[in-house]
């Protein structure tokens, strides 16, 4: 059973995430419409079962909610992967969306790192601040123990760039989490 469920509550947010790496329904309710759309796209392209509910201090701004969802999603991903026995470990994807092309390459190494190179031509996408995509990816990588490299190779529309990043994350994660053997994919024997 490659599943996990975590609830994290702070003075700023209450986040609940349930994840099944082996598939299921996808739903997101964070109070931030565009972010819900991105989480749904991510879950669909990752081929996972994913339920995200968040209540945050949106009267301040969406930052705490977006970042804290990244924290909890990283934690449930790490828990669902367990000892990572049998997984491919590495994943990559190039995803186009209209004029934008984005790339994600990741490694479930246990060593958290984010390299993010995706300029956002517009500051806002609805009520979502475009800069929050990097904050979400950083929180996900740090809490999931993921080496994560993401880039917008080109694009002129922040919506298209952001959506291609989330979709490429999903496709790369699906590839990396796929069970291809029985042992741990590491010369050290552990991840």
Could you please report the per-residue DSSP string of 107-128? E--S--EEEEE---SSSEETTE
d(CA 184, CA 88): 9
CA distances in angstroms from 150 to 80, 107, 156, 185, listed in the order given: 23, 12, 17, 22
Q: Rounded CA gap, 72 and 88, in Å?
A: 23
Please report, in tens digits, the pLDDT of each residue of the chain (191 residues total).
899 999 999 999 999 999 999 999 999 999 999 999 999 999 999 999 999 999 999 999 999 999 999 999 999 999 999 999 999 999 999 999 999 999 999 999 999 999 999 999 999 999 999 999 999 999 999 999 999 999 999 999 999 999 999 999 999 999 999 999 988 888 888 78
pTM of the entire structure? 0.96
Domains of the chain listed by start with CATH number? 3-177 (3.30.230.40)
Structure tokens given for 94: 């190039």
Return the pLDDT at 36.
98
Residue 190, pLDDT score: 79
- Position 184 scores a pLDDT of 83
pLDDT score of 191 = 83
Tell me how far apart the alpha carbons of residues 72 and 67 are, in angstroms, rounded to a whole number.
Answer: 9
Residue 188 confidence (pLDDT): 83
Contact 109, 75 (CB under 8 A): no
Question: Which DSSP letter does residue 85 get?
Answer: T
Please, which residues have CB within 8 angstroms of residue 114's CB and are 6 or more apart in sequence? Answer: 134, 137, 138, 141, 142, 148, 149, 150
């Amino acid at each position: 059973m490659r599943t996990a469920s975590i609830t994290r509550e702070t003075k700023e947010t209450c986040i609940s995430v349930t994840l099944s790496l082996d598939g299921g329904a996808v739903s997101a309710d964070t109070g931030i419409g565009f972010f819900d759309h991105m989480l749904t796209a991510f879950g669909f392209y990752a081929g996972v079962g994913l339920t995200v509910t968040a209540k945050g201090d949106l009267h301040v701004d969406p930052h705490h909610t977006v970042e804290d969802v990244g924290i909890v999603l990283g934690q449930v991903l790490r828990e669902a992967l367990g000892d990572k026995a049998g997984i491919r470990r590495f994943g990559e994807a190039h995803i186009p969306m209209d004029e934008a092309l984005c790339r994600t390459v990741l490694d479930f190494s246990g060593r958290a790192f984010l390299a993010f190179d995706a300029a956002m031509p517009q500051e806002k996408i609805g009520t979502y601040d475009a800069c929050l995509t990097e904050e979400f990816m950083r929180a996900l990588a740090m809490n999931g123990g993921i080496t994560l490299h993401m880039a917008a190779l080109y694009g002129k529309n922040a919506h298209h760039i952001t959506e291609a990043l989330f979709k490429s994350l999903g496709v790369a994660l699906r590839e990396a989490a796929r069970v291809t053997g029985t042992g741990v994919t590491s010369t050290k024997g552990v991840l």
